[in-house]
Structure 1
């Protein structure tokens, strides 16, 4: 099924998406239409152009692949499935996501992974190929955020206030030196063999989707950010 979005109102485009039973749907000439693929399950949706805010909100098992950039709140509260972005992504990507994976070939804006969470077998992941803006993983409660820092020549690829209010989950960052000036809620350590084993499948899939040398990426230096149990926030949300 092929849908030409052009200047069609986003509500009409979404009605077309929902009304067809085709497992594979191609959206062409997308120009900022919002909420594409919201709540979708069991479909593959390819998008050419620039989708607007709320792409894949509440996604429940579909795969959405964007051959271009995406705007804000990609994957808001998504439950399952994958969102693949071949370009850059705007702010608040993965807001409160609780399952599935988001792959971003390029850079990501502010507050990616804010309020991410995990439950039982649900462990969401965001993989950012380039660099991320400020407040990455703000109030993160679970899941994995992986920043590969491709093209950053080993420099720290995240802006300010990474992990502010973090009380669960893990942020793994490729850089040559341990990050400094982190909020008091965050502990930083060099990645262990177990950490590398955890991120290896995500790196392999990133390279399968976008190209690159997975073996070379896994050999790079990574640092792991985890919640500081002495900082207070973790005590509000978890128990031993």
Structure 2
């Protein structure tokens, strides 16, 4: 493994150094807000200690990025493939326009997580949030899965206002005791079925492998599924096949 000391080095220099390394395993130590770490990377394992700046793993194309700390805005923006694992919280717009791969967040997510997520053929994006999410979660979601485990929320609704506004594809799955109220009219809510639980089980198990916890106990709780309301979508804005 090759180690890069970030510290107070300007983000462009850190990224140039990371891209120049032939080793498939890279450690970045003492990250202090450097932007775009791991951008467009493929075939690498990048371990980061500290706090990476905006755009961590943008356009990620198959690498694994693991952060021991918090991350700022736009984690995994438009990523195609790979895994991003955050041992902490993330800022706003995590998974913006995400097209594939997986993001696992141990703690909380800021506003507009999963906005404009989309799925195509074999590409299926997944965001797993261990704690709670801010407002506009899954805004204009077009595909993929957003799973909010609500750990530490004592069964309360683990998202803020306007969850799923404008969503027209994909699913948002929330661990909470009661069905959320006051959702946008574009969203339908139902209690998770056995099939729904089978689909989310691998992601809950992966979350517990990364961060600890009892997957069986989590899966034994009540979950609710948010999906698009076909009667309230913005039909004039989208082309689709029935």
Name the TM tier (shorter chain): over 0.9
Alpha-carbon contact 1:130-1:147 (below 8 Å) kept: yes
Q: Which residue of the partner structure matches residue 88 of structure 1?
A: 89
User: What TM-score comes out, normalization by structure 1 length?
Assistant: 0.99
Aligned with 2:114: secondary structure? coil
Note if 1:100 corresponds to 2:97.
no
Unaligned runs of 5+ in 2: none
Q: Which residue of the partner structure matches residue 109 of structure 1?
A: 110
2-structure distance, mates of 1:163, 1:198: 20
Unaligned runs of 5+ in 1: none
Aligned with 1:26: secondary structure? strand
Q: How many residues align?
A: 240
2-structure distance, mates of 1:124, 1:236: 23
2-structure distance, mates of 1:163, 1:217: 23
Residue 236 of structure 1: how far off its partner (Å): 3.7
What are the Cα deviations for residues 150-203 of structure 1, in whole angstroms up to 9, with x where unaligned? 000000010000000000000000000000000000000000011000000000
What are the Cα deviations for residues 48-83 of structure 1, in whole angstroms up to 9, with x where unaligned? 000000000000000000000000000000000000
Runs of 4+ in 1 over 4 A off after TM superposition: none
Q: Structure 2 matches for 1:21-40, cutoff 5 A?
A: 21-40=22-41
Aligned with 2:152: secondary structure? coil
Cα pair distance change 1:59/1:169, threshold 3 Å: same
Q: Which residue of the partner structure matches residue 147 of structure 1?
A: 148
2-structure distance, mates of 1:97, 1:16: 26
Q: Which residue of the partner structure matches residue 172 of structure 2?
A: 171
Note if 1:208 corresponds to 2:221.
no
Residue 219 of structure 1: how far off its partner (Å): 0.7
1-structure distance, mates of 2:43, 2:235: 36
